Amino acid sequence: MRRYLVLSVLGVCLLVFVPGTSAFAGNSTYYVGKSSQGQKFLFSVDKTASGPKFDPFFTNMIARCPVTGTVIDASFSFGGFQIPIKNGKFSLRFNDLTDLFTWNGTITPKKATGKESFDLAAFDSQKGLQDCTTGSLTWTAQALVPAATKAAAPRASYRVNITKAADGSVHFSVTH
């Protein structure tokens, strides 16, 4: 009986401790930074068999509508993305009927820099269209050592969740 108890305790310890060690084994490097608007973001660079991948967690931006003066605090969270990094560079771009989102940059082992933007087509009070945009934003990030847990996304008035399914299709959900 005592032998089974020891084996059970050992099994539970392995389940608890082994999965947590992969974050410290060098599989991912986490980067945290700010945009030229002072907005925060988080991503990781994941080491995979096919090369390094940009894995975004969240980014935040402030868009302004030129006609109505509306200010939109937008927070984008991501799941299921691994964008190839080639020659230290990545590029992520989504556009659909009403939105255009871009995030690109250059990554080194200790820091990263780049540009991001968001454009949203919106009606004004006269039923005319306006481009609510962030403009082209610059950003900088520093690598975190050691890689720890994923940070929680800050509060925003306009939250966009972007997920990539196993079949490659991209899905958006918007809340505000």
Is the link from the previous residue into 84 a cis peptide, with omega within 30 of 0?
no
> What is the enclosing helix (H) or strand (E) of 51?
strand 51-64
pLDDT score recorded for residue 154: 59
Q: Is residue 21 part of a domain?
A: no
Pairing of strands 83-84, 111-123: unpaired
Q: Is residue 138 part of a domain?
A: yes
Q: Is residue 9 part of a domain?
A: no
CATH number, position 133: 2.40.160
List the structure tokens of 26.
């060098």
Q: Residue type at 48?
A: T
End-to-end CA gap in the chain: 56
Domain count, the chain: 1
Q: Is residue 35 part of a domain?
A: yes
Which carries the bigger pLDDT value, residue 78 or residue 4? 78
Query: For the segment 71-122, what is each residue's pLDDT rounded down to a tens digit?
Result: 999 999 999 899 999 999 999 999 988 999 999 999 999 999 999 999 999 9
Per-residue confidence band for 5, with pLDDT thresholds at 50, 70 and 90: very low
Boundaries of domain holding 99: 26-175
List the structure tokens of 23.
């974050």
pLDDT score recorded for residue 137: 98
Query: For the segment 23-40, what is each residue's pLDDT rounded down to a tens digit?
Result: 334 589 999 999 999 999
Q: Is residue 18 part of a domain?
A: no
Q: Is residue 155 part of a domain?
A: yes
Which carries the bigger pLDDT value, residue 121 or residue 163? 121
Mean pLDDT of 145-164: 64
pTM of the model: 0.71
Q: Which residue has the tokens 């931006």?
A: 61
d(CA 57, CA 153): 8
